[in-house]
Structure 1
Amino acid sequence: MADLGPTTESDPVYDRFARLVHAYLGVPVALVTFVGADGQRFPGAVGLPEPWQSLRGTPLSHSFCQHVVAQDRPLVVSDARTVDLLRDNLAIPDLDVIAYAGYPLRDLQGRAVGSLCAIDGTPREWTPDQLAVLEDLALACASEVQLREAAALAADAVRTADRRAEHGQVLLAMSDAFTQTLTPDEVLDAVQRVATEVAGAARASIGIVHPERGALTWARHAAVPGAPVTLWDDEPLSRAESPAVQVVMSGRPLFFDDATTMSEAFPIVAGVGGPGAAAFLPLTTSTATLGGVLLRWHEPRVVDDELRDLLVTLASDASIALERAQLLQRRRDVAHTLQSAMLSHLPSPAGVTLDAVYLPAEVTEQVGGDWYDAMELPDGGFALVVGDVTGHDMRAATRMGQLRSMLRTLLWEHDRPPSRILELLDGINTGTGLEAMATVLLARVEPPTDDGVRTLTWSCAGHPPALLHRAADGTVELAGRPDLPIGFMPDRERHDHEVRLAPGDTLVLYTDGLLERRTESLRTSIDAAARRLAVLPDLGARSLVDALGPTGDRRDDVVVLTLCLGPR
């Protein structure tokens, strides 16, 4: 079948220019033509024979306009059959083009892209007035061409701006997702979430480098139907034929538009994971090689520059977040070990059951200034302490350790009531330059009388009051007058308070993290805890935390120390 050239739609504006040429010059055919590699198109056309009028296009073998464009000047001939350049053009027999006058249409850069032309099927001498009219109409038509080009450029600019804005929002959301992470597990979860929700991947798997083992361990991986069970085994870092290992060791990402391309580069993964596109991204920082991320899509797709930039940014953000989380984890591990080492091993005084629990805050470094202590004294009694140094970090933990050691020394060296011991502690705290700010409740339990009753003497340095569950008479609050916390005014006098403990009674000391709530005052929480304590069947320290402590993430450390006269 003969090549009929391109087909195009009619354009009302360009048709209007063709009609003006047809009317003003009195020609049977008038065209607005544009030339391309595949032929010429007539969005504006009047009077062409069929099928050309309907097709509105011809191959270049039928084009006079191509010469107007190539030479960037008007082409005016009275009889094309006598012109060497045109006599063999198929427009003469097929479109009946004999006389032709065409003026160039130029774009915004001044390049000829088409022509406005008048055509007659018989030889014709074009008058200067006709050519002047045709030139003016061509200039007007060229203005339309340029306006449309400018509008298209503006629309492209808007689309580009929209894409950039959308891309910026995506990057912001991605950055925010990683900023919120605190632990390595949270980072790995965020990588998988961002890879699927933002990058559109069907699944994401993450390998972590273990230099000491010389291996890449797949810490996160998605199920791959039909894959062998060995797919997610540790990979030696010497396994150069593995794309994941190569990416990790080189620090350069790999992108594949489909599984076939990936299999040609790495035969080891042939037939695994379906036909879709793949990306391998290194997790590296300036100081460490952390691992790699494997992304797979269900279908082949072109991994274009925009997607590559997004994936590289994903890997960069994830690397920074993972390195930070690993450092924080190591710091938390060290700090938690330090904190645990500073918590006392509870003694076992005759006739008394002691129990304690310390739980770190879950939204900080998991260390802080809360502590408990219990120690037997030379005279046969023993001391109980709960305290809370201001802060939830390593500094608070170290100050707590120093304050605790000072207090233990003072309790052993001085047979004084709790108020005097706290006065001495406050003076040493200031005098040595430690200057810790802390609340403390210090209690001294005397040896029992013949009927098993013990005297409890306590002094409170700004600490929440202890609760006493009477075996035979409900729960009361030990609401003696509180003095100022340690570290405020060391010269102020402190006060002692006394109560008798009978067999079966349970004393509960705690830090404010047990009862503090955002929605109510500490006073309200203490009153509610006293009521709950009266009916709880188990008054062990951990059971009290479960029953009275905060729900959800703990925003503060929690300490509970209980004393029960007799077995609990």
Structure 2
Amino acid sequence: MAAAVTVSMTRFKGAGDLPAQVFDPARLAAVYATGLLDSGPEAVFDDLAHLAASVTGAPMAFVTVVDDRRSYWKSVIGLGELGIAERQNAAEASFCHLVVAADGPLIVTDAATDARVNDISSVTRMGIGAWAGYPIHAPGGQVLGTICAVDTAPRAWNDQEVRTLATLARAITGEIALRQAVRQMSVQMDDLRATSRQSQALARSLQDSLLPPVLTIPPGLEAAAAYLPAGHGALVLGDFYDLFPVGPSSWCAVLGDVAGHGVEAAKVTALARYTVRADASRHFSPAQVLAQLNTALIAQHVIDQQFLTAVCVIFRDQKSAEGAGVTGVLSTAGHPSPLIRRADGQVEEIRSKGAILGVFPDADLGSARFTLNPGDALLLYSDGVTEAHPPQDGAAMFGEQRLADLLAACHGLDAAQAVEHISHTVLDFCCHDSADDIALLVLRVPGAPSALPPHA
């Protein structure tokens, strides 16, 4: 890491030269509402800035918040240890005001010759040779600042580096939105504590914000998911799932379960989703994705008893003698093993080793390969399924064998129908009063109709 640098607030240009967007009252109100100005470093932002520097190979990276006077460095990588007063420069001395004005990325390959920035004082004061940054936004869409990578020499930024910065910007935007949602919800829940139904609605709203509003379905596949809150849904718990593309023909599916409940569980869930999304596109290794998540959880000093189990699957299209299908790799971290229902009704358990995340520096993660041919279906689920039990009999759990039999009996059902059938069966078993959240995600290759199970 470079030695600490004292950054002068001397203005090269006058404040009157700043674009009008910097002074927009709605934008400034959104900046102040974050509470990030003049606040100390936090692991969640430092982790993302470190990732920006690591992916791009740049010696410096920043997460900034820009008001009408200065660009405040909420996270700064590469300038050593800085006090609060040193973590800033004047708005006109920063490239960030150009991002605010454009509400879009700024990619500079040679700062000394780029007419957009070569008269900005930080080019010489901070030795900027190249700069690449993306805007971070408030929930209302206003530009709050940037995440940027900075090199001391001119350089080109490749497409993968630029895409990663865009992903990290979205992750920071989500973190800020979650914080504001949590603060707003805390105030509302204090006001509405006496009204149980309203409190339940607020809790469910926060839980829903941690899940994709619409499940993106890979081309040529069926996909469906369900989240069933425990009890009456009055608590925010930590089950989550996600499904998203990581390349032209590659996809990532993840399903996890955070121990505990409430705001702390929601924060861990959000960190997990954004970390997986930021890292999954970098390599075809779910074990590495979960290892990166483990590192992020430990770096954020997750509170005692707040850990995470997860299964991560990365897969791509493939052709076989049977026709179209998928081939993939999965990794589990202290999580129930996924099940595959073959087209002939046979059910297979796909095992890989791995410890819970957020506790041990090395989660000892393994991986397992699998192939889905036409008619095959992959089921990811949380332990709320197998541990479901009637309210008056905690020992009579739904269990793994009953789940395997239920999946085998999903003859002729597509992914959505299978999820609905499993959900209804489990809820009926526990009298619609589950003790733990339930999450399900099914991927199925359409084609050959599913055969009847052997015992049918």
Provide TM-score, normalisation by structure 2: 0.50
Provide TM-score, normalisation by structure 1: 0.40
Q: Select the structure with the greater relative contact order (CA < 8 A; seq sep ≥ 6).
A: 2
Q: Which has the larger helix fraction?
A: 1
